[in-house]
Amino acid sequence: MSHQLLEGKRGIIFGALNSSSIAWHVAEKCHEAGASFVLTNAPIALRMGEINELAAKCNAQIIPADVTSEEDMNALIDQSMEVLGGKLDFILHSVGMSLNVRKGKPYTDLNYEFMHKTLDISAISFHRLLQTCWKKDAISDWGSVVALTYIAAQRTFPDYSEMAEAKSILESIARSFGYHYGKGKNVRVNTISQSPTMTTAGSGVHGFDAFFNYADSISPLGNAPAEACADFCVAMFSDLTRYVTQQNIFHDGGFSNTGVSTEAMAKFASI
Ligand SMILES: NC(=O)c1ccc[n+]([C@@H]2O[C@H](COP(=O)([O-])OP(=O)(O)OC[C@H]3O[C@@H](n4cnc5c(N)ncnc54)[C@H](O)[C@@H]3O)[C@@H](O)[C@H]2O)c1
């Protein structure tokens, strides 16, 4: 699909780790749509090197930045504007990591040092990004900023653990900063709440396969794949969605508004 919806637009895409990353698909679709952008990830993630392939394909420069570092964030925004030749029109925040999940700590026995780090990486980093851009006046009028989130912000999924809190904060930051950025500079800020997706972060959640299949069987359209999420991001970055802001938009095949499906009911029917 070549629609050039993002022709002439400049952006930053956070979080492409490998070809299954949602951000990887977003980069491919933004490139197809005519955008130019910088790719960024944590220095340690860049060492794996897979992102070089994406950068070559999209003609994009890679700028390392740990989202928990103000210094890195400042340098990233300055260098991106320099490399791209002007202010930014769109940004994708596709960053998430739970130390407690990674270290196998259950929700009822969280390590709070880990939790601080989880919240810093997965949620506060979004405020850090927006505040850095705000102070530098780095986003053009009618620019668009999107962060990826999950429905565990609204409903309990036991194995999602402290990431539920992280996503609640992330979505709240989009609403709050969306107000200030809308009033101050006509910039929109939204979160997209995506279906379970087979990625490195996704499959870190215990029992992810069952989780994925459950959502797929409940959603009338089935789980939304990463490619479709990328298409939706392109739409959100384009001029066709200029008055959408402060929203958490479900991109989940209908999962969030479905109580149960006939397939799921059949599994519980008495014989
Ligand atoms: N996979 C799913 O099921 C799913 C569903 C809904 C929302 N999401 C969200 O989508 C986003 C992208 O995740 P994904 O599923 O594509 O997995 P992914 O593992 O490919 O992406 C997560 C990214 O976060 C980056 N990251 C971690 N710590 C960082 C740091 N300190 N500084 C900079 N970057 C850092 C990682 O390097 C990685 O690129 C996350 O916010 C995730 O919570 C995922």
Per-residue pLDDT, averaged over 79-100, amounts to: 98
Is pLDDT at 183 greater than 80 in this prediction? yes
Is pLDDT at 98 greater than 60 in this prediction? yes
Q: Two tokens at 79?
A: 């260098």
By most ligand atoms within 8 Å of CB, the mutation choice from 17, 145, 255 for ligand 1 is 17
Per-residue pLDDT reduced to its tens digit, 190-233: 999 999 999 887 877 778 888 899 999 999 999 999 999 999 99
52 CA distance to ligand 1 middle (Å):
18
73 CA distance to ligand 1 middle (Å):
17
| Ligand 1 atom at shortest distance from the alpha carbon of 95 | 24
| Ligand 1 atom at shortest distance from the alpha carbon of 14 | 34
| Ligand 1 atom at shortest distance from the alpha carbon of 197 | 3
263 CA distance to ligand 1 middle (Å):
31
Which domains are assigned to the chain? 10-268 (3.40.50.720)
Per-residue pLDDT reduced to its tens digit, 24-51: 999 999 999 999 999 999 999 998 889 9
